[in-house]
């Protein structure tokens, strides 16, 4: 029972980065911009967060600065896809490679590697924290409890506000949105910045609140899993949150099995999240049409002169 309690208690800690990164991707792609750079932006957020934490020692400021850093780097991606109209798949992959090299270089030059930082203490939701087995679910760091509220806010924005509906219109039919007087490039730029900030927050969560240190490539492919998670969720934030919990359960189970004395080959442990990702993608592809709920203009550059 202790193993189950620890497993459930650690699941949110592993799930939150997947959830925030997937939400940022959904927000960007709802505007019609195919975002494959989550892995790189998470690394930027992780490095900026740990640097700010080493400098100021205030997790709230560190997370905000990490979001700003990811948004700043995403301007390069926006330049490539909105102004230069480079293929969005190529631009996303280039952004990942650029961010991997940049963060590895800066982390080494600034001597931030393997320097532990002090994160915030856990918050207990009493009396739920006293429940048998499930109690540890309600003893988490503040961002875990804020994540569902962030999802509520984004869902409300996309479905209940004029600005959110216009953003979705830009992703579905940019020509019609432009004819209605909506700034397609302006909305897409705003979506890239906001989505990238959420992805940067996911990276900062790993470095500042979870591991509490920085190492090169510490996101370990979580950004790529988030990309697959968006497809699995069919661009639905709530389904993405459920999928993040699924992957969080899987990642949280591995150290619990090791602590219980279950011997697992190292490479099997490393491949498990990706094997599950492949299984989920195959399951999704074998069911309904994967592209059924994707934005109609996803990945299609907008050229006003070619509007018909």
Our measurement of the distance from residue 199's CA atom to the centroid of its chain's CA atoms, rounded to an integer in Å, reads: 4
126 in a structural domain:
no
Length, in residues, of the chain: 308
Report residue 122: phi and psi, to 5°: -75, 150
Quick check: is 304 in a domain? no
Using a pLDDT cut of 70, give the percent of the chain over it.
95
Structural domain containing residue 249: 1-119+141-286
Whether 15 is in a domain gets the answer yes
Domain contains 93: yes
Could you give the CA distance from residue 300 to residue 88 in angstroms, rounded to a whole number?
8
Q: 296 in a domain, yes or no?
A: no
| 74 CA to centre of own chain | 14
Q: What is the mean pLDDT of residues 130-149?
A: 89
- Nearest 5 degrees, angle CA 229-CA 230-CA 233? 85
Which one, of 283, 214, 241, lies nearest residue 17 by Cα?
241
- Kindly report the CATH number assigned to the domain that includes residue 20: 1.10.3470
Question: φ and ψ at 45, to 5 degrees?
Answer: -65, -40
Whether 130 maps to a domain, the answer reads no
Yes or no: say if 256 and 10 are a contact pair by the CB < 8 Å rule.
Answer: yes
Q: Number of folded domains in the chain?
A: 1
Lowest mean pLDDT among 7-11, 273-277, 296-300: 273-277
pLDDT in tens, 246-294: 888 888 887 777 777 777 776 777 777 788 778 877 777 776 555 567 8
| Residue 302, domain member (yes or no) | no
Could you report the per-residue pLDDT of 193-240, keeping only the tens digit for each?
A: 999 999 999 999 999 999 999 999 999 889 999 999 998 888 999 999
Please say if the pLDDT value at position 3 is more than 70.
yes
Contact 18, 247 (CB under 8 A): yes
CA separation (Å) from 219 to 19, 47, 195, 256? 14, 11, 18, 20
pLDDT digits (tens, 9 = 90+) for 68-111: 999 999 999 999 999 999 999 999 999 999 999 999 999 999 99
CA distance 30 to 23: 10
pTM for the whole structure: 0.93
Tokens of 114: 């393997």
- 142 contacts: CB under 8 Å, gap ≥ 6: 120, 123
Is residue 293 in some structural domain?
Answer: no
Residues 38, 32: Cα–Cα separation, whole Å: 16
């Amino acid at each position: 029972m202790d193993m189950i309690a620890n497993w459930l208690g650690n699941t949110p800690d592993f799930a939150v980065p997947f959830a925030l990164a997937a939400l940022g991707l959904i927000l960007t792609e709802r505007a019609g911009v195919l975002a494959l750079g989550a892995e790189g932006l998470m690394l930027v957020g992780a490095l900026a967060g740990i640097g700010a934490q080493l400098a100021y020692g205030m997790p709230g400021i560190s997370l905000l600065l990490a979001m700003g850093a990811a948004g700043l780097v995403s301007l390069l991606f926006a330049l490539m896809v909105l102004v230069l109209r480079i293929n969005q798949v190529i631009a996303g992959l280039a952004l990942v490679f650029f961010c991997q090299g940049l963060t590895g270089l800066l982390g080494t030059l600034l001597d931030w590697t393997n320097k532990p930082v002090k994160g915030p203490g856990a918050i207990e939701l009493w009396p739920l924290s006293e429940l048998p087995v499930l109690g540890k679910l309600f003893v988490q760091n503040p961002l875990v409890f804020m994540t569902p509220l962030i999802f509520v806010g984004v869902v409300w924005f996309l479905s209940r506000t004029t600005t959110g509906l216009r953003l979705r219109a830009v992703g579905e039919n940019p020509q019609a949105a432009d004819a209605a007087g909506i700034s397609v490039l302006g909305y897409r730029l705003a979506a890239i910045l906001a989505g990238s900030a959420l992805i940067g927050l996911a990276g900062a969560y790993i470095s500042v609140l979870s591991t509490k240190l920085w190492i090169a490539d510490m996101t370990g492919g979580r950004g790529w899993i988030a990309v697959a998670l968006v497809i699995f969720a069919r661009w639905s934030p709530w389904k993405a949150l459920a999928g993040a919990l699924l992957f969080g359960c899987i990642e949280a189970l591995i150290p619990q099995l090791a602590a219980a004395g279950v011997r697992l080959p190292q490479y099997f442990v490393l491949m498990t999240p990706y094997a599950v990702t492949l299984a989920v993608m195959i399951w999704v592809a074998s069911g309904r049409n994967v592209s059924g709920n994707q934005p109609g203009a996803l990945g299609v550059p907008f050229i006003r002169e070619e509007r018909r």
